[in-house]
Structure 1
Amino acid sequence: MDAHQLIKDKQIVIFELDDVLYPEKDYLLQVYYLFAQFIEYTEQKNAQVILEFMRNEFKNNGTDHLFEKTATAFEIDNKYKYNFELLHQNARLPLKLLLFKNMLEFMQTLVVDRKKIFIVTAGNPEQQLNKIKQTEWNGLEQYLTVYFADELNQQKSEIFQNILNDNNLSSSDALVVGANNFDEQQSRLINLPYIVSLEIYK
């Protein structure tokens, strides 16, 4: 869908972060790489083999019980689960996270057209902030206002409504860009227009 047409009558656009602005796997796979390196250093187990296992498990079954499955496969002590979880929150990534090309171009269009940009993201606030800090924003960071739903202990729909109220806007003045049913449901609760990020092009 044409970006200019989408926003011609909008004042603000609200985004989720994971799998909307960037691919979340780009963060997780780097965390797994760092964890495998850590285990090799502390336990002298082959990092490459561990990483390959984690990649395949993630690809086939997602993140559920990934540490436990890896620990069982390689006889890794359960005490290292703390390190695994901590890395998710504060990992210093080898590579910057890159925005989806269509999202980068869309956000640049928003800036040129003087639209306000908000990110409302769910999940561990420290982890989400870590992702934001290690994303290559191409200068867009100065135009972002970020809300962490879990930190505020609010539903996204409540935060959406507060953003509208704070900017003296109605739901028709805004657009939510997401990637899953939950984001869409939260938008519909207050009649906010919603679009899936993959449908946007320049």
Structure 2
Amino acid sequence: MEIFQLLKNKQAVIFELDNVLFPEKDYLLQVYYLFAQFIEYAEQKEAQPIVAFMRSAYEQSGSDGLFEKTAAQFKIDPKYQYNFDLLHQNARLPLKLLLFQEMLKFLQELVVNRIKIFIVTAGNPEQQLNKIKQTEWNGLEQYLTVYFADELKQTKAEIFQNVLSINNISAEQALVIGANNFDEAQSRLSNLPYIESLKIYK
């Protein structure tokens, strides 16, 4: 895999979480399933059509406004927005989140080569931590150092600089792996080499 050529002389690799280490949808679809089950219990509305609707709406237009769309479709009381949001933060998933297979191999290669692994993730810290806790890391969790940008109230670029400074690593000795233009832009602000995760697992 050509990606390993990029690891030459590297001492650290910095990852985002969602859609880099695992598909974000694997988490969200399970949250939607649990919410539908909750509504079935609380309001005696059949869960299966709600799950099907939420999955379809998510696949068509993402997660924005999904509760409102679902509430309108099934006449769900707006008070349940609280439960919907809370589930995103503390849901106990029926199934563990699985790393992309190629990413698992890549992480294992980093450990073998004693390259430090950092996760710098944006978004609700409780939700992101909940994802991490329910991921099948295959023993890799002991090698991870995690930073939550929203909790620290810092930009990713600022955290990248802190990671380099604390670990006495130069920008040339690190690599950022992300999933979007924002991640790339934050890397460039820190003069860090960047690669899109798709190049690893596809």
Normalised TM-score (structure 2): 0.98
Aligned residues: 202
Amino acid at match of 2:143: Y
Partners in 2 of 1:131 and 1:145 — Cα distance?
A: 15
Q: CA deviation at 1:129?
A: 0.2
Task: Give 4+ residue runs of structure 1 displaced > 4 Å after superposition.
Answer: none
Return the alpha-carbon distance in structure 2 between the equivalents of residues 52 and 24 of structure 1.
Answer: 18
Whether the 8 Å contact between 1:13 and 1:115 is mirrored in structure 2 is yes
Residues 136-177 of structure 1: per-residue CA shift (max 9 Å, x gap): 000000000000000000000000000000111110000000
Contact 1:96–1:134 under 8 Å retained in 2: yes
Counterpart of 2:148, as a letter, is: F
* Separation in structure 2 between the aligned mates of residue 146 and residue 88 of structure 1, nearest angstrom: 19
Unaligned 5+ runs, structure 2: none
The match for 1:68 is 68
What secondary structure sits across from 1:3 in the alignment?
A: helix
Partner residue of 1:123?
A: 123
| TM-fit CA distance, 1:8 | 1.7
User: Does structure 1 residue 170 correspond to structure 2 residue 170?
Assistant: yes
Partner of 2:10: 10
**Contact 2:100-2:201 within 8 A present in 1 as well:** no
Are 1:137 and 2:137 an aligned pair?
yes
Q: Note the aligned Cα RMSD (angstroms).
A: 1.1
Residues 188 and 83 (structure 1), Cα distance of their counterparts in 2 relative to 1, 3 Å cut: same
Q: Which position in structure 1 is the counterpart of 2:108?
A: 108
1:2–1:201 Cα contact (<8 Å) kept: no
Q: Percent identity?
A: 76
Give the C-alpha shift of residue 197 in structure 1. Answer: 0.7
What are the ranges of 5 or more consecutive residues in structure 1 without an aligned counterpart? none
